Structure 1
């Protein structure tokens, strides 16, 4: 496919009248948005010498939990001595996050070197237009080939059947969950979406998926995947169960249906990753590796609920929870409810004093907000600051529109509007400062802190994380790492 804009860039470079960098080309590709079809990427891969071939890969698709599952997969393989490449999307703060080697974000220099190679291949002998996502995927492949990784883990960008990541030679395919998202591309029903995502399967390659509650979704996946290579994973089971053996295990699943869901999404992702790797090779993982990944794996933008980020020069600690669709918000609020409330009693942690909430535009906005409004009914009337994410592909929902939804539902909290995310965060700090000062006076303890909880769009967290790090002597790369040690225990309000 020819693109006049790409051809113009080549002409400018050849004429020498202006220097157009790979970054300029990458940024210009954002205007193309989502692009269907695989032929463009196939052609560029051929020009690059097929870096996807001979690369042992694991391919992960699903509606929610893909990134966390990929992080566990990459960390487990690395802990067992492999050199591991990881490609994920989107990024929080900088595009280099999409490509990691042994858990570390590649350097700007390494990214730009691979980017220039991809750009050269896309422009000659005839220009091929690529999307931002396709370019970063190709950058990852070039980098993994150059670095000689033993394994590469790929997160699907959108759907599965027509996603460029299906072009890798996967030795293991994984589905995390199936929920409604991107219906305009993937189809209007869960069954439609399941068909698209399950199509990442390869012939005679192990396929491992989280057992869905929806029977139609299960039947669709089983119709697509070779029964001899398909496996289900469920929190009730100590190991993956083959499609053939599912009937005898369903009774255990059904017996759990009425129990409150208490398994946090990160634990679900950890179990899925560990079970999937065990299907690939029963002797691949040691117990020590499985346990270490559970404790140390961290997915940026989703703070483990028991491990808030301590801020220097501030009385606050921060927790993040990203959700980009209704199913993700429902799961996030379910986990938060289980964490903050146990059978109506306060756990030995503290409630948030301030919550910052922002979202990007979506057709089902009220459904997206609903789980959060329900969660607020159980909290101790926190102040909710409504704001508007700045970065990202999709425009923000007006904070005033969010406030009207809250008011129409008589939400059990006070809401204020601060459209600028950084101003919203500083407002939160100003609110908690006198609260903590009084608590420290009453208790006589200096290590008492208040919680600021940031929830909603991943892009909101991406907007705020650099600002939080700059103002609190935190290293941004540490917060973006997928492998972290637990911080020390903190004194909390409400303990």
Structure 2
């Protein structure tokens, strides 16, 4: 049960400004210095990228925890509660710790007179304070957006990881892949090793140039570095062959084929960080890792995925096409208005073989009206395209269409996926309460008789 003070503080945190006119990490550094440099109490793994960085963080955290290391995990966005962003040994921080961290930052602002922190800067500093309080040994820190001016870039890492880079957040990071890559490369530090996914020559050249300038060891992981051996149900077996780590059989527990790449990146980063790490630790860490909202089967035949931009939609569809449900798929989709949903619709429908598409949204100002998206989707398919303003009704419509040999995919904005999980959890709680009430009534009736 959420306590009132936590609920109040969470609302206060959400009121913080989202962006500032001149991007910089200086304000975060000022606060950390004023607070006594809590970031120096633990070691950091810094992860940036457009897609896959959250999953890669989860794999890394799991490997480190398997090694017996006390971990902190900082990721974004959250799906249901803000405390998901800050985890200790894969458990959400408790409400009291969240409140204490906020009060420390608020006091620092009042006493120092520093400029207020943006929302992401605030939760970053709060996470650092909590990680110090919880005595974590390593913190895996995921960038919120970009890298160079991201709040997490105020920390000094032991290793940097850059996952797949694509076109996203162009209004903030730049309108070309090269500009976006330069922002991501901004997390590299002098003498600090960096593992990165090598998909695009233009991106790779920028990373090589930055690494040379920083005298940073750069490990490039191409698509040829790993090979999927088998994908059966929720388990993907793959081999890995890189300069730094070779393993003939690794496994991740996921329906998403794209997780093999994220697992490979995490395995290589762990091996560079801990050269003597046992293979079994890496294997167990990868297999036991879980990242919610990514090809997650929430109930039999219902899969959710937070594919929210063109590259992640492409990765999502690679997994969908392997599911064996051609012509028996139902898609429920919601997207933010600032995304290229024309390109996303084309990618979803050119080979998706869906039998129906349901477009919806959640009550969030950034979400696009499904009626606006509908004609865009209809130009790429002949199957029925429905619109439903209510996410709950969209889900119910999909379930009414579903049969035993169908699969429902619900994809798009992570805010949509989070709202859906919250709705289903609430529905499950209500069902349990109803069943408990019925059982109580039956028990009372039995006693009366």
Which interval holds the TM-score relative to the shorter structure?
Answer: 0.7 to 0.9
**Which ranges in structure 2 are unaligned for 5 or more consecutive residues?**
1-6, 226-239, 245-254, 432-449
CA distance in 1, matches of 2:356, 2:379: 17
User: In the TM superposition, what whole-angstrom CA distance separates every residue of 1:290-337 from its partner, at most 9, and x where no partner exists?
Assistant: 222333222111135xxx232xxxxx5320111221111122112222
CA displacement at 1:35 relative to structure 2 = 6.6
Match of 2:298 in 1: 309
**Which ranges in structure 1 are unaligned for 5 or more consecutive residues?**
1-19, 243-261, 311-315, 341-346, 437-448, 476-495
| Worse-superposed segment, 363-372 or 135-144 | 363-372
Please report the TM-score for the alignment, with normalisation by the length of structure 1.
Answer: 0.76
Aligned with 2:333 (options 357, 370, 382): 357
Tell me, what secondary structure is at the counterpart of 2:167? Answer: coil
CA distance in 2, matches of 1:350, 1:188: 36
Match of 1:37 in 2: 24
User: In the TM superposition, what whole-angstrom CA distance separates every residue of 1:403-430 from its partner, at most 9, and x where no partner exists?
Assistant: 1112233x13212111111121122223
Match of 1:368 in 2: 344
User: In the TM superposition, what whole-angstrom CA distance separates every residue of 1:439-471 from its partner, at most 9, and x where no partner exists?
Assistant: xxxxxxxxxx75321011111111110111232
Q: How does 1:387-398 map to 2 (within 5 A)?
A: 387-391=360-364, 395-398=366-369
| 1:468 and 2:424 are equivalent in the alignment | yes
| 1:382 and 2:355 are equivalent in the alignment | yes
Match of 1:101 in 2: 88
Match of 1:236 in 2: 224
Contact 2:188 2:216 in 1 (8 A): no
Tell me, what secondary structure is at the counterpart of 1:204? Answer: coil
Q: How does 1:92-491 map to 2 (within 5 A)?
A: 92-212=79-199, 214-226=200-212, 229-237=217-225, 238-241=240-243, 264-284=257-277, 286-304=278-296, 308-310=297-299, 317-337=301-321, 339-340=322-323, 347=324, 352-362=328-338, 364-376=340-352, 379=353, 381-391=354-364, 395-409=366-380, 411-432=381-402, 435-436=403-404, 450-472=406-428
Contact 1:240 1:279 in 2 (8 A): no
Contact 1:321 1:332 in 2 (8 A): yes
Q: Structure 1 residues 58 and 388 mapped into 2: Cα distance closer, same or farther (>3 Å)?
A: same
Please report the TM-score for the alignment, with normalisation by the length of structure 2.
Answer: 0.83
CA displacement at 1:105 relative to structure 2 = 1.1
| 1:68 and 2:55 are equivalent in the alignment | yes
CA displacement at 1:128 relative to structure 2 = 2.3
CA displacement at 1:137 relative to structure 2 = 0.5
Q: Structure 1 residues 357 and 171 mapped into 2: Cα distance closer, same or farther (>3 Å)?
A: same
CA distance in 1, matches of 2:313, 2:397: 24
CA displacement at 1:179 relative to structure 2 = 0.9
Q: Structure 1 residues 72 and 351 mapped into 2: Cα distance closer, same or farther (>3 Å)?
A: farther
Tell me, what secondary structure is at the counterpart of 1:236? Answer: helix
Q: Structure 1 residues 273 and 32 mapped into 2: Cα distance closer, same or farther (>3 Å)?
A: closer
CA distance in 2, matches of 1:30, 1:382: 42
Match of 2:15 in 1: 28
CA distance in 2, matches of 1:352, 1:467: 25
CA displacement at 1:21 relative to structure 2 = 5.2
Query: Post-superposition, which runs of at least 4 consecutive aligned residues in structure 1 deviate over 6 A?
Result: none
CA distance in 2, matches of 1:36, 1:430: 48
CA displacement at 1:236 relative to structure 2 = 2.6
CA distance in 2, matches of 1:362, 1:27: 21
Contact 1:69 1:270 in 2 (8 A): yes
Contact 1:360 1:389 in 2 (8 A): no
CA displacement at 1:34 relative to structure 2 = 8.1
Q: Structure 1 residues 298 and 182 mapped into 2: Cα distance closer, same or farther (>3 Å)?
A: same
Tell me, what secondary structure is at the counterpart of 1:225? Answer: helix
Q: Structure 1 residues 23 and 363 mapped into 2: Cα distance closer, same or farther (>3 Å)?
A: closer
CA displacement at 1:390 relative to structure 2 = 2.9
Match of 1:493 in 2: none
CA displacement at 1:353 relative to structure 2 = 4.4
CA distance in 2, matches of 1:96, 1:50: 22
CA distance in 2, matches of 1:450, 1:215: 40
Q: Which structure's residues are more often strand, by fraction? A: 2
Q: Structure 1 residues 44 and 292 mapped into 2: Cα distance closer, same or farther (>3 Å)?
A: same
| 1:48 and 2:35 are equivalent in the alignment | yes
Q: Structure 1 residues 300 and 82 mapped into 2: Cα distance closer, same or farther (>3 Å)?
A: same
